Structure 1
């Protein structure tokens, strides 16, 4: 812990409160009693990170590959993938290559990589993964399905103001998805040209972002731009622009991802989100994980622990 020596120097010792940091897979004790079918004496391993366990089954499907990513769009949105081997990262510092001595926290190079720029602006985080020296890059947004939900609420509010019959939220989602799906091109483009004549651009950051240092009162929020007098604001086109904004706010094209696993409740309610992901990641094999096949963090923890046990038994 970086701040612990400073606290100790002031007489505020936390050593009796904080746990020791040990590598993943470390046995920290034995179960002292039978518990939920697990016999006493079973090994207890150190706790694992929730996010890391959630993406472990997907990022480890191809153990020798670093070009797999996992994307979850629910209320918020996250995308994670293993850090490319050509990037160095040590103690919070990033360097374009292992031979370079420059870091983001020192004098930045004239030609910074996209990775450096995003990391410096706190748009991405680098978290430790399971193996020593292995890390994952995480882009987490506070704007995901909640943005589309707010759009749906706005439509329902407008309907009430216009004196239209009440429409349930589920019906709005169904009608939006149907309206959009009826205008797909045969080549898989999100919407036919006549439906996207407006070409509006939606910045979906209604709820701000973690990297935004401004207060909630000062944050600029979302916006709609590229509006022209002759635009045709068809409902499918506006809906598509909102979905596209959510996806583009999260995209990391520079990461050279070749396989993307997508999941989340927002995907189920808004199939157009998946279409937008496929459109943006045109060269990527996009796999949508159905709700009944989504793997929880506890499953990832069990799978990793199984590899630890297998490894110890083979020694």
Structure 2
């Protein structure tokens, strides 16, 4: 669950180099988004070097750690329970930036001494583009790290200092949509001086790209699954976490040569008495509650029965975390369905329509990059 930042930035450079130069030269604003929760460490003065390539200047990482992703599992429940309680609406979980820093503080303190800056990988990109002397992080990414009070928009500095946390690594925090700085160099044809937005969370940008009505709920089932609604104006999150609250659900949807046959078998079975709880990787609010299968009978062990029950379990689990009654109370009138799993899996679509008593619209484009660009467009 560690990734090479050099390869990530290399891929980013390749993508930009492949875009039309005439279009890149017209860019005035850059919106950035990326996977939340994870953490990268670097040295402020030596975080990257700029070099010339075929399409113009590009930056390459120098004294930078690996990216420790949101899927990192080094922080056990026992370790997390030993940490101070955050003043935040989000419970701490393994893979969160602050939890990872605590792990290094206990298990490899010399590692932290090698760096004087930290952020998400997309915060790193913004810092390099703008040559920021101190990293700048949006409240979205800060909340995803833990130990951040979303009401006061501030880190739990007092709590962190008392436990010896290296607070000098924490980035400054700004509002989504704000400008972090300007490009200090041309970048693959993008002019020097282009405004760069503060890095945003991929999930928020994905929702922003499609959720046009407050009465819509967004359902995405792909490499992970989320059901999302807009909160009313003036909503404020609580200042303390509810450990039992369902925050997110993680499923892995694997590609397979027999995928089509599996779906065909499940379509032949309209029902299954099998009950599948499919959280094989756990959930952040109950990491110890793993997958289970109940009501097992010989008559329901065919491939079609099992697949039907699995699809139903995925949707039912989402519904249990954000129940239909809550959606009705929030004024939801329609569900926008997206994601590769929903697009390819008719059985999943059937189960969504069976469980949720709202019209379901499929095929709505959900794209974090588009959402980030839209934020910067409205900023203009």
Tell me the TM-score normalized by structure 2: 0.51
Question: What secondary structure sits across from 1:260 in the alignment?
Answer: strand
Question: What secondary structure sits across from 2:209 in the alignment?
Answer: helix
In 1, are the aligned partners of 2:223 and 2:253 still within 8 Å (CA)? yes
1:238 and 1:6 map into 2 onto residues whose CA distance is: 48
Q: 2:236 aligns with which of 72, 89, 93?
A: 89
Q: 2:249 aligns with which of 141, 161, 171?
A: 141
In 2, are the aligned partners of 1:144 and 1:246 still within 8 Å (CA)? no
| 2:276 matches 1:202 | yes
Aligned positions of 1:99-138 closer than 5 A: 121-124=244-247
Alignment-derived partner of residue 296 in structure 1: 367
Deviation at 1:55, TM superposition (A): 0.9
Deviation at 1:73, TM superposition (A): 1.5
2:273 and 2:287 map into 1 onto residues whose CA distance is: 30
Alignment-derived partner of residue 194 in structure 2: 42
Q: 1:174 aligns with which of 241, 253, 260?
A: 260
Aligned positions of 1:236-247 closer than 5 A: 236-247=304-315
Query: Which digits, 9 at most, give the CA deviation of each residue in 1:101-137, with x for residues without a partner?
Result: xxxx7xxxxxxxxxxxxx551213xxxxxxxxxxxxx
Question: What secondary structure sits across from 1:272 in the alignment?
Answer: helix
Query: Which digits, 9 at most, give the CA deviation of each residue in 1:287-314, with x for residues without a partner?
Result: 222xxx74321110001111111xxxxx
Aligned positions of 1:8-23 closer than 5 A: 8=161, 14-15=167-168, 17-23=169-175
Question: What secondary structure sits across from 2:167 in the alignment?
Answer: coil
Query: Which digits, 9 at most, give the CA deviation of each residue in 1:152-194, with x for residues without a partner?
Result: xxxxxxxxxxxxxxxxx42x321222233356xxxxxxx2xxx
Question: What secondary structure sits across from 1:145 in the alignment?
Answer: coil
Q: Which moved more, 1:2-11 or 1:23-32?
A: 2-11
2:180 and 2:337 map into 1 onto residues whose CA distance is: 34
Deviation at 1:8, TM superposition (A): 4.5
In 1, are the aligned partners of 2:218 and 2:335 still within 8 Å (CA)? yes
Deviation at 1:70, TM superposition (A): 1.8
Gaps of 5+ in 2: 1-153
* Greater C-alpha Rg: 1
Gaps of 5+ in 1: 94-104, 106-118, 125-139, 150-168, 184-190, 310-315
Alignment-derived partner of residue 259 in structure 1: 334
User: How many residue pairs get matched?
Assistant: 220
Provide the alpha-carbon RMSD of the alignment. 2.9
1:250 and 1:204 map into 2 onto residues whose CA distance is: 11
* Cα 1:8/1:211, change in 2 over 3 Å: closer
Deviation at 1:56, TM superposition (A): 0.5
* Cα 1:286/1:18, change in 2 over 3 Å: same
Q: 2:228 aligns with which of 80, 94, 98?
A: 80
1:249 and 1:123 map into 2 onto residues whose CA distance is: 10
In 1, are the aligned partners of 2:202 and 2:368 still within 8 Å (CA)? yes
Alignment-derived partner of residue 102 in structure 2: none
Query: Which digits, 9 at most, give the CA deviation of each residue in 1:70-121, with x for residues without a partner?
Result: 2222233222221246x9534435xxxxxxxxxxx7xxxxxxxxxxxxx551
1:306 and 1:261 map into 2 onto residues whose CA distance is: 23
In 1, are the aligned partners of 2:249 and 2:318 still within 8 Å (CA)? yes
Tell me the TM-score normalized by structure 1: 0.60
* Cα 1:122/1:269, change in 2 over 3 Å: same
